Amino acid sequence: MKLVHISDTHIVPAPSQLYGLDPRANLSAAIADIHANHADADLCVFTGDLVHWGDAEAYDALADVLAELKLPYVLMIGNHDDRARFQARFPDAPRDADGFVQGTLKTPMGTLVFLDTHDGTTHAGLYCETRRAWLARTLEGIEGDILLFAHHPPFPVGIGAMDAIALQEPDAFADVIRPHAQRIRHIFFGHLHRPISGSWLGIPFSVLRSQNHQVAMELRPTGRDVIGAWEQPAYAVALVTPEAVVVHMCEYLLGAGRFSLNADEGLGRAYALQMAGPQVALAAG
């Protein structure tokens, strides 16, 4: 099974830009790259912060861009979203009995579980007692493997300003997850705007870059200001088999040329020397 993971599109209505960038154009470019290189994907999952200000006009703009996507997709929400406006514009999105944007999808490689960590009063995540009860029932009722998707991570990653707005009450959330940790093969997060991977409770996880602006790698334990960076956007491609979950990061705006590392070895060396300058070329000669 091939899954495309996209997060933090931060759409704003045209002709507005965000931090000097055009999130609508970036998402459109991502979709074009997915069609060109991963048209065989089974599903695209968007893990929240679909729009930047939670306004209805931005959701309309998002819908216009998503009309280009030929693959099936699931939309989730994050701290920049507005649950009511999102649900009004996308009524077919996952929704549980309590009105939260979460649900499940059975696949040949296990059950995908989509979580709603939106608070609505802060950029930090919230997974309240009602949602935890839903998740406990849901995980208990699933037979076989599980792939989990959420916007907010429930653990610190070392970037103090982002750790301050991670999922609140992480211990209570962990108590729900821990009994099923051996069956949860991977957790896909958004929110952090950085390529990060590791494990939590013994469960592998991955985070990816935003489709617009990124968070700088400032590994400081404290800090109130989130430092941005104009790094390349990326989406992820997950290859899921019975034996492994392999996650690739795809930077689709680089525009870099490609060449054979075997057939063009001499050409590649000559080009590298040329770009390095005459001193390196003399030393190498």
The CA angle 46-7-149, to the nearest 5 degrees, is 60
Mean pLDDT within 92-117:
98
Mean pLDDT within 123-133:
98
Name the more confident of 267 and 200. 200
Q: What is the pLDDT of residue 278?
A: 46
- Is the pLDDT at 269 greater than 70? The verdict is no
Q: What is the pLDDT of residue 271?
A: 56
Block residue for tokens 């070895």: 265
pLDDT band of 257, cuts 50, 70, 90:
confident
- Is the pLDDT at 270 greater than 70? The verdict is no
Block residue for tokens 């979709």: 31
Q: What is the pLDDT of residue 260?
A: 73
Mean pLDDT of the chain: 92
Mean pLDDT within 97-109:
98
Q: What is the pLDDT of residue 263?
A: 65
Q: What is the pLDDT of residue 105?
A: 98
Domains with residue ranges and CATH for the chain: 2-254 (3.60.21.10), 259-285 (no CATH)
Instruction: Quote the strand ranges of the chain, DSSP E.
Output: 2-6, 43-47, 73-76, 103-107, 110-114, 146-150, 184-189, 196-200, 203-207, 214-215, 228-229, 235-240, 245-250
Comparing CA positions, the residue from 156, 181, 178, 158 lying closest to residue 167 is 156
Q: What is the pLDDT of residue 224?
A: 73
